[in-house]
Chains A and B, each alone.
Chain A
Amino acid sequence: MAIAVSQSQQSVRRARKNSPMYRAWQRYRRNGFAVAGLGWVILFFIIGIIGPWIAPYSYTYADFLHMHSGPSWQHLFGTDTVGYDVFSQILYSVRYALEIALGATCVSFLIGIVLGLWAGLSGGIIDMIVMRAVDFMFALPSFFFALILVVLLGKGIFPMILAIGVPGWAGYARLIRSLVLSMRNGEMVEAARALGAPQWHIARRYMFPNVVGSMVVSLAFGIPYDLTAQAGLSIVGMGLNPPMPSFGNMLAQAGANILGFPWLLYFPAGVFAITLLSFLFVADGLQEAFNPKGGM
């Protein structure tokens, strides 16, 4: 009895060790940059969740007595032109940046998955229309669509999510359509069907593991892109309404006031740059892990 149990456990373990996910993780772990990036990304998420509780000041609290003060124990990263505490501003910005970037990526992905599935599964005229729409979206940088959408929707968090997310669907739609087409006509699926596998089994065992890699990779590349777009909107003055803190606002402000107060730049720019790098390292590591042959 005991032997039988341990054997079945062993086979489960072996199966897990041979699962595509496990092998992908093994490959991922070998990439030092990707692991370091993942560490920072996790830290970033934790700060995003607990940031408002550990922030020493509210982002609306202006210390008028210590405007333009350099880094000190009272104000860890210094204060800005209005007397806002830069450290607290960064902690809050992390949360808003994450909310907007994740929300926008989800919006893009949802629209993309719906349209991509629709185009790939129905084919014909619908496929053509969707693909023309994709071409249309790729003809212009989505940043311009985002600018126009901000004018229409306003400068809150939810409008930002829509303004950045809605124009970003085209890439996901194209990816998902191509995955659907390759799966639908793939030999592996055909073979499974010939063996009499039920539809859900085919979807779970054959389609999902082959699709999940490319989708995770494209999402991982999407998040840093949306972070950049969001900060870029602030640079042109179309980002989150001040006093809502955001990396873009801080960078724009630092750029304007840099000559006298360089610490306004060090910390926001540093955190932002490291974050973008980490997300890119993670995305790159995922790409290598899921697709060891291809990529660069």
Chain B
Amino acid sequence: MFYAKFFAKRFVAIVITLAAVIAISYIMMYCSPGGFMNTTQLASSLAPLAAQDPAAYQKLMEQFQLRYGLNLPLWHQVLLYEWHTFTLNFGNSMQNPTLSIMSQLKTALPISVILAFSSVVLSVVVGIPMGIIAAIKRNTWVDYLVTTLSMFGQAIPSFVLAVIFVLLFGVVWQNVLPVTGWGTVPEAVLPVVSLAAGNIGVVARYMRGSLIETMRQDFIRTAKAKGVKYWPLVLKHGVKNSLTALITVIGPQFAFTVVGTVWVENIFAIPGLGKVISTAFTNFDFPLAITAVFILGATIMLTNLAVDVIYAVMDPRVKLQ
């Protein structure tokens, strides 16, 4: 019962947020100068038509407006768009009028989701041991190495790392790992690693701080006094209690990673949602752009919801609100 109420509340909040995001982005795009029909490529190819046969050009523009409902009043457009989006009826994009947005999403979304989730998993798998080692070897060279490395990972954005990887594996060590494309495991290595580097740094630093904090607690001293050996003390008593706090960073890290996929997919030429977003925005393809933002936003918010539930399940002291 309690969970049902919690989920209902959060779900309503998510729907309201998404509706607001759609409305705001739709209105902004509506107000923006230079629509899809005026972008450089199309405008130049339509210019001869406009010069030779103004009536036909006019008719074409009217048909275009009619097709995407751009002749309706703004409030009507927004409400209609909200309705269509929430019923998952995304319509067709402007760039590829024959291809439905749904079919584009079906191929692009799984790629981005796999990319983002595997990088988060990698960052947890690598970051936690790094943090533990740094914490138990506190103020030794190991600790400084881990801390400095994680600073580097945090400071250098995924796209810089991605370009450096392209240089290393495209020029210096050719034929070791492919630098473009998607579909096989080797092709996924570089994008996932460049996305995960920042997260590894965050996870390692957080784990280190959290474990150091935990090892100062009274129950650790009690366990030590009871005669618990060193490794069980660290792993069973210390790490287990530090992990619950670590879950809270996964949510923001996931959002950060989703932004990273947009960059990394552009550099490694991966046909994911990030690539779709960048082509949609640069071509003023509004339906596709807003839908892509909607999908990514929904993914992030649902992940955050899941993280909150997992946190509450793992740490009974936490109360869901």
Contact = CB atoms under 8 A, between A and B. Distances in A.
Interface of A: 33, 135-136, 139-141, 143-144, 147-152, 154, 224, 228, 231-232, 235-238, 251-252, 254-255, 258-259, 262, 265, 269, 272-273, 276-277, 279-281, 284, 295-296
B151 A277 contact: yes
Interface in B148-169: 148, 151-152, 154-157, 159-160, 162-164, 166-167
B38 interface: no
B163 A237 contact: no
Interface string B264-279: 0011000000100110
Given A251-B163, A265-B164, A296-B206, 13 more contacts: A144-B259, A144-B296, A152-B32, A235-B263, A236-B262, A236-B266, A237-B281, A252-B267, A262-B167, A265-B163, A273-B155, A281-B151, A296-B208
Contacts of B14: 139
Contacts of A140: 17, 21, 255, 293, 297, 300-301
Contacts of A272: 160
Interface in B3-45: 14, 17, 20-21, 24-25, 28-29, 31-33
Given A141-B300, A235-B263, A255-B166, A296 B20 contact: no
Top 3 A-B pairs, shortest CB-CB distance? A296-B209, A236-B278, A280-B155
Most buried by B among A149, A252, A255: A255
Contacts, number: 131
Contacts of B31: 152
The secondary structure that dominates the B interface is helix
A280 B154 contact: yes
Nearest to B265: A236
Contacts of A254: 163
Given A136-B20, A262-B171, A265-B167, A255 B162 contact: yes
A143 B259 contact: yes
A277 B164 CA distance: 16
Contacts of B162: 255
B155 A151 contact: no
21 contacts: A33-B148, A33-B151, A140-B17, A140-B21, A140-B297, A143-B259, A144-B296, A147-B293, A149-B28, A150-B281, A151-B289, A154-B33, A228-B157, A237-B266, A237-B281, A238-B278, A238-B281, A251-B160, A265-B167, A269-B164, A277-B152
Interface of B: 14, 17, 20-21, 24-25, 28-29, 31-33, 148, 151-152, 154-157, 159-160, 162-164, 166-167, 170-171, 205-206, 208-209, 255-256, 258-259, 262-263, 266-267, 274, 277-278, 281-282, 284, 289, 293, 296-297, 300-301, 304
Contacts of B20: 136
A55 B278 CA distance: 33
A141 B259 contact: yes
Nearest to B206: A296
A69 B205 CA distance: 42
A296 B203 CA distance: 12
Given A139-B300, A140-B300, A141-B258, A148 B163 contact: no
Given A144-B297, A258-B171, A262-B171, A232 B163 contact: no
B171 A139 contact: no
A280 B159 CA distance: 17
A236 B256 contact: no
B284 A236 contact: no
Given A136-B20, A238-B281, A141 B256 contact: yes
Contacts of B166: 255, 258
B157 A231 contact: yes
A151 B263 contact: no
